[in-house]
Amino acid sequence: MEKAKVAVVGLGFGAEFIPIYQKHPNAECYAICQRNKAHLNEIGDQFGIERRFTDFDELLKIKEIDAIHVVSPIADHAWMTLAALNAGKHAACTVPMATTKEDCLAIAAARKKSGKVYMMMETAVYSREFLYAKELVASGKLGKIQFLRGSHQQNMGLPGWPEYWYGFPPMYYATHAISPLLWLAGARAESVVCQGSGRINPDYARRYGSPFAVETALLKLKDSDLACEVTRSLFDTIRQYRESFDVYGDKLSFEWEQVAEEGAVIYSGFEDAERVKVPDYGHLLPREIAPFTGAGVYDEEHEHTSFIQGSGHGGSHPHLAHEFITAIVENRQSAVDAANAANWTMAGICAHESAMNDGKRIEIPQAD
């Protein structure tokens, strides 16, 4: 395969990946798909893409397409991923993988049957902060991990979000907080206990039957002495946006910044604390897409640093695209394969189930 031909489905947030695929040395953005024809043509004209589809099923019939990158609304994630895999296409999908345990397990089974690459495009495990913490763990500087905590707090109560978000159970969209913990721990979640706290607007609560303003879970890890704490909120809880993780070791500990732009903290010694500037990791990428981390490109001749679009979520977007394409080209499973994605997603689904049952311990199904 000279270049993997990718179709991007969903052109809101999804449009940010188009120029990355266009620049990647082993990829081609072959087609785009969007229900809204006017928006489809606007994006197609902007990026010079000729093959445009409003019908997802018609897109899947194009034999030249190697891979589908799904960036559609949450309710479409599972069925579109399954359809792509069953059509013999490699599939990448934004988070969450699905909103039911059954769909998560079905996707894992479909990936195995198809032999194709699946990747959940989890931004949290390719952000600068995560790559920095991962380096601390891999180098031994952090020492033995003793505990991990994740938190994703966001107030989406203002108008303007797609209608399906209002009242969405917090833990159904918890992979940003869960995934860094499980990756760093090198383990899967085995069971979960979760408590709900507070109450959201009754009109919101009726939509999904989920009343809680905040859900906080304690994950038990499989074949590990570690536990992880995860907190998630979406409505009626005032806080600056925070998508974060903390990891505590016996040599060093890393904590996410409390306030935006304040800087992460490294703890050492007994009570020593130091704010750190987390570096960019564009050097891990092909030079053609490294600028998409958002670090900027310095032009020595004109003494100017330029920045380009597509660098959101902590510079993770080009790392995600590169891992997906590389897995296809190398004929291997991706770093966030279906079994791991299912575990990270079902940990949240089971956490909500626990909260709705007054903190009952819920075993998390394992997808192999």
In tens digits, the chain (368 residues) has pLDDT values of 689 999 999 999 999 999 999 999 999 999 999 999 999 999 999 999 999 999 999 999 999 999 999 999 999 999 999 999 999 999 999 999 999 999 999 999 999 999 999 999 999 999 999 999 999 999 999 999 999 999 999 999 888 999 999 999 999 999 999 999 999 999 999 999 999 999 999 999 999 999 999 999 999 999 999 999 999 999 999 999 999 999 999 999 999 999 999 999 999 998 899 999 999 999 999 999 999 998 544 344 444 433 445 456 899 999 999 999 999 999 999 999 999 999 999 999 999 999 999 999 999 999 97
Cβ atoms of 94 and 77 closer than 8 Å: yes
Residue 368 confidence (pLDDT): 78
Residue 302's pLDDT is 41
Contact, 256 vs 244, CB < 8 A? yes
How far apart are the C-alpha atoms of 118 and 340, rounded to whole Å? 11
List, in order, residues 6 or more apart from 303 with CB less than 8 Å away.
Answer: none
- 247 DSSP β-pair partners: 148, 254
SS3 122: coil
Domains of the chain: 4-121 (3.40.50.720), 125-280+344-363 (3.30.360.10)
| Whole-model pTM over 0.85 | yes
Assess contact for 4 and 116: CB atoms under 8 A. no
Radius of gyration of the chain (CA): 20
C-alpha 24: how far from its chain's center?
A: 20
From residue 365, alpha-carbon distances to 8, 105, 233, 272, 348 in Å are: 30, 8, 24, 41, 12
- Report pLDDT for 77: 98
Amino acid at residue number 18 = I
3-state DSSP call for residue 83? helix
CA dist 155 and 343 (Å) reads 26
What is the structure's pLDDT at 303?
45
CB atoms within 10 A of CB 363: 10
